A and B are shown apart, each in its own frame.
Chain A
């Protein structure tokens, strides 16, 4: 009963390095969402992807951040040249394609710390 798998669970990067966060959706789910959560705050939408397509990236910072969901393999959230302000928990969620009635299932999150 594999749920949404995110790795790594914890990631430490020095300023200026790249961070790559991976997300494997639940079996049968074709929609992937990435969210960022700062300490003591809610989840901020970043990007919504289907296989090989970015559907909505309205929450993604214009620079340094990118996401992909290739035909094969996990979805990747990539942060280039990380800064201290990128330190946060990054959650991936997946759902079925049909609207409204499908709850999103979340991974355990990746805690990124930039030092």
Chain B
């Protein structure tokens, strides 16, 4: 079965500094997608970034980048130049393709607090 692991329940970062949120995954399928979502205190889920298993380059979206290390099965999110508005829960997710149902499975999340 596929699995997503986020080992950091909480992280602190100083404003304007970079922070890395860890995510490891487990799958036997050669084809999969990895995603990061942000959940601010207001509760909505905001899509941040996507990495396909066959993508040669690490994905980037503005201040977000995904450090994809396929051999280590890790897909860490890097947020550069942290802002106070980045304080939120962050979830790593993978799209399940082994069973053919394509559901998304989520990690337990990391709560990021940006300090002024």
Instruction: Give Cα A93–Cα B102 distance, bound, in whole angstroms.
Output: 13
Asked whether B68 is an interface residue with its Cβ less than 8 Å from the other chain, the reply is no
- Inter-chain contact A100/B47, CB cutoff 8 Å: no
Interface pair A42/B43, CB less than 8 Å apart: no
Q: Number of residue pairs across A and B with beta carbons under 8 Å?
A: 67
Shortest beta-carbon distance, A8 to chain B, in Å? 14
A35 CA to B43 CA in the complex, in Å? 13
* A85 within 8 A of partner (CB): no
Residues in chain B near residue A81, CB distance under 8 A = none
Whether the Cβ atoms of B103 and A99 lie closer than 8 Å is: no
Known: A45-B104, A100-B95, A100-B97. A105 touches B47 (CB 8 A): yes
Number of interface residues of A (CB under 8 A): 26
Chain A 81-115 per-residue mask, 1 if CB under 8 angstroms from chain B, else 0: 00000000101010100011111111011010000
* A43, B106: Cβ atoms closer than 8 Å: yes
Q: Find the residue from A31, A95, A106, A111 having the highest chain B CB count within 10 A.
A: A106
Nearest neighbor of B49 in chain A, beta-carbon distance:
A103
Contact with A along B75-115 (1 / 0, CB 8 A): 00000000000000001010101010111111111000000
- Contacts A41-B108, A100-B31, A103-B47; A48 near B52 (Cβ below 8 A): no
Task: Report A's interface with B, CB cutoff 8 A.
Answer: 31, 33, 35, 41-45, 48, 55-56, 89, 91, 93, 95, 99-106, 108-109, 111
